[in-house]
Structure 1
Amino acid sequence: MEPRIVCGVDPSLTSTGLAKISGYRILDTSLIKTSGKAEVPYRERSRRITHIAGGIATFCDRADLVVIEGPSFRSVSTSTWERAALFYRALEHFLDAGIPFAVTPPKSAKKWASGAGNAGKEAVMDCLVNVFGDFEAPSFDVSDALALAGMGAHHLGDIAPKGRGRVSALRGVQWQ
């Protein structure tokens, strides 16, 4: 059986990382960069969220599974509402398209990639090379998305990477 297509989404208002894999093969990566300020009108904020969510939907079109990083419920900032809107707008796209998705706690991708939920961005990227081989990532957000996609492929049984903490990192994920 051919490995399924899994997308990883690391949502952000400024730098959304996206990765698409099939088994151990990286099919595509992308980075959606935007900028904004807290004092801009809500109309502009809404358009920005729509733009990012649309980019996520287009990238993940026809995926067999999407793994998206969930909200950090203890995080407090002026953009909390906008980040929540982006997260749920992306989920609506997956639901409307009939694409199964999973929501993972923020530290789970780091734990899956490196064995430690508090691993630094460089450590995550270095550990992912052990799973996928050398790859080009325009940012650490893309490598985080690659870890999320890897989690999905692991859950589906399309890959079986070795390493500490990988199986336990899958336990906290809400598989839909």
Structure 2
Amino acid sequence: MPTPHVLGIDLSLTSTGLAGPGWTATIKPGATLRGTARMSHVRTVLLDRYLNGLDLVALEGPSYGNQGTGRQAGHHERAGLWWVVRCMLDARGHPVAVVPPATLKRYATGKGNASKADVVLAVGRRFPWFDGGEDEADALVLAAMAADHLGHPLTPMPAAHRAALDAVQWPAVAEVAR
């Protein structure tokens, strides 16, 4: 049975994290791009490099609780990027699971309220090859969740962590991936 081709995406206006089995990457538009140019850059890089032959995409859902002081100004643009990518994935026919941030944290650490540092530490323990930052760690957890859902876990996970999979609305996927 072939290993499914999964992709985890942690969207960000400044550093989108991407991951699949055995790899992580980021898309960093740079400080000179703003607004729709920045969104277009992320979309173009995804299309050019990462969206071929996917069995399942795990996309981190919006962080509704992340609207604190100093962050509200970018909320509208972050939401725009999320919808640009979500609509693109749908238009290309990729099955997409939207994973709430707390569910990602629960799968990674066993706690839905874990910090970003806790997630990075947990990822480093489970994936000794990992040397990325917060964005790549989140994306790798998303990819691991997608692979686990398809019956091909990337690493052994405790049952309490795997219970987070039940909180995700998983799309129908081709049987070849199962």
SS in 2 for 1:78: helix
Shift of 1:164: 5.1
Letter in 2 for 1:72: S
Question: 1 CA distance for matches of 2:111 and 2:18?
Answer: 22
Greater displacement, 149-158 / 115-124: 115-124
Cα gap change, 1:74 to 1:126, in 2 (>3 Å): closer
What corresponds to 1:78 in structure 2? Answer: 73
What corresponds to 2:167 in structure 1? Answer: 172
Given the two structures, how large is their TM-score scaled by the length of structure 1?
0.83
Q: Is residue 56 of structure 2 the alignment partner of residue 65 of structure 1?
A: yes
Match of 1:49 among 33, 39, 42: 39
Letter in 2 for 1:143: A
Runs of 5+ unmatched residues, structure 2: 172-178
What corresponds to 2:139 in structure 1? Answer: 145
Shift of 1:130: 4.2
Runs of 5+ unmatched residues, structure 1: none
CA contact (8 A) 1:8 1:20 kept: yes
| Larger strand share, 1 or 2 | 1
Q: Percent identity?
A: 37
Q: Superposed, which structure 2 residues align to 1:1-176 within 5 Å?
A: 1-21=1-21, 26=22, 28-35=23-30, 44-57=34-47, 58-76=49-67, 77-137=72-132, 139-159=133-153, 161-163=156-158, 165-176=160-171
Shift of 1:119: 1.9
RMSD, matched Cα = 2.1
Question: 1 CA distance for matches of 2:92 and 2:64?
Answer: 27
Question: 2 CA distance for matches of 1:47 and 1:170?
Answer: 35
Count of residue pairs brought into register by the alignment: 165
Shift of 1:168: 2.3
Greater displacement, 50-59 / 145-154: 50-59
